[in-house]
Amino acid sequence: MKAVLYERYGSPDVLHVEDVPVPIPATDQVRVKVAATSVNLSDWECLRGSPAYARIGGLRHPARPTLGSDIAGVVDDVGEAVTAFRPGDEVFGDNLALKGGFAEYVLAPESALAHKPPQLTFAEASTIPQAGAIALQGTDSAVSGSRLLINGAGGGSGSFAIQLAKRLGAHVTGVDNAAKQDFMRSMGADDVIDYRRDDFTRTTGPYNMVLDLVAHRSVFAYRRALASGGRYRCVGGSVPTLLRVLTVGSVSPDGTASEFSLPGPWVDVAAPGEGVVSLAPAGDGLVDTTPSDSPIAGTSYAAPVVSAIAALVRARSPELTARQVMARIEDTAHRPAAGWGGRSRGSQIWEGHRAGTASDSEVVTHVASS
């Protein structure tokens, strides 16, 4: 079969098409003949190897040689333990763990797939799994009459989020570039903002909720756009931005406990031979589902952030065990439980950042090498 491969991080120029063997499904896997696949931000991040969490499992070289997580196609073969699908079934799903969608055939866990609704084409179905799930989780707290701003509303997740929020009765403001203004309106946005012309954190608002699908601005700027007690949610973004959300996001300028959270997608943090810190969404936070006999059980964090920090720590100190890595993260980057009381070393560093005496790079360096 033909597949799009890459052996090093970089621009699209590192991608190339090769003939490779058709994969054989394991006991709990399904082999799908790919009819359509979509390109998501996660594919771009894994191609470039940036932000740092995109290198989890492959610090110097890609962990998986073929990108493509959102897939749609026809079941070609199944492992002996698979019960939900059989050859000929039309399926779709987010194969984020194994990827491989940029090929003629792909292997996926049974749990990653669902039967494709007959009214959807394969192309339509392939756009839904990752972008749609992020939008659904990101807008689940919108209510009738609430004011919701979506930063990056002209993209895949953003276009789903506009429609879902409008169904819930929210007033939606979409932020993206000028070329996407009409598209956002066609999706149902009540107001649209060109981020290149207007700073939505200063000129509009306040909003009951900000869903940030870009996450490159200062966390303090986003808080300006929130109403008292408002909620901010981000998906992905740079390591410094995610660290800011984790460590200082819970404190608003007027002392009101605005909620900052990371709706996903969640990943596990693993170290060979040491076990896995397993995290699952639970309400507005996470529940630690790590097996009790794991050597690193009992530590629960927002996984995208922990993955980013873990990659930095391991790059600097590869001799550390998983337990030591998690202990270092807890010591340097754990969000204070209540405001600025009971400061950890990480929160002290962030206080310096807030006061302008510590830069983003100093914060990341502190977490990675303390």
What pLDDT, on a 0 to 100 scale, did the predictor assign at position 245? 56
The answer to whether residue 85 scores a pLDDT higher than 60 is yes
d(CA 227, CA 69): 36
Element (H, E) at 240: helix 239-248
Between 347 and 178, residue with greater pLDDT: 178
What pLDDT, on a 0 to 100 scale, did the predictor assign at position 247? 46
Percent of the chain with pLDDT over 70: 62
For residue 58, name the pLDDT band (cuts at 50, 70, 90). confident
- Closest-CA residue to 112 (of 53, 73, 69): 69
Strands in 2-145 per DSSP E:
2-5, 16-19, 29-37, 70-78, 90-94, 105-109, 113-115
Please say whether the beta carbons of 362 and 350 come within 8 A.
no
Omega before 12 cis (within 30°)? no
Long-range contacts of 225-229 (CB under 8 A, 24+ apart): 225/149, 225/200, 225/201, 226/252, 226/258, 227/147, 228/252, 228/254, 228/256, 228/258, 229/256, 229/257, 229/258, 229/259
What pLDDT, on a 0 to 100 scale, did the predictor assign at position 259? 46
The answer to whether residue 102 scores a pLDDT higher than 70 is yes
In this structure, the dihedral spanned by the alpha carbons of residues 231, 237, 241 and 243, taken in order and rounded to 10 degrees, is: 90
Q: What length is written for the chain?
A: 370
What pLDDT, on a 0 to 100 scale, did the predictor assign at position 148? 95
- Residue whose tokens read 């699209």: 12
The answer to whether residue 217 scores a pLDDT higher than 70 is yes
What pLDDT, on a 0 to 100 scale, did the predictor assign at position 240? 58
d(CA 22, CA 57): 24
Instruction: Read off the pLDDT of each residue in 143-165 and give the average, rounded to a whole number.
Output: 94
Alpha-helix runs per DSSP H in 49-120: none
Tell me, yes or no, if the pTM score tops 0.75. Answer: no
What pLDDT, on a 0 to 100 scale, did the predictor assign at position 325? 56
d(CA 151, CA 136): 15
d(CA 104, CA 31): 10
Question: How high is the mean pLDDT of the chain?
Answer: 75
What pLDDT, on a 0 to 100 scale, did the predictor assign at position 280? 42
Q: Is 49 helix (H, G, I), strand (E, B) or coil?
A: coil
What pLDDT, on a 0 to 100 scale, did the predictor assign at position 140? 84
Q: Which domains does the chain have, with CATH numbers?
A: 2-127 (3.90.180.10), 132-261 (3.40.50.720), 269-369 (no CATH)
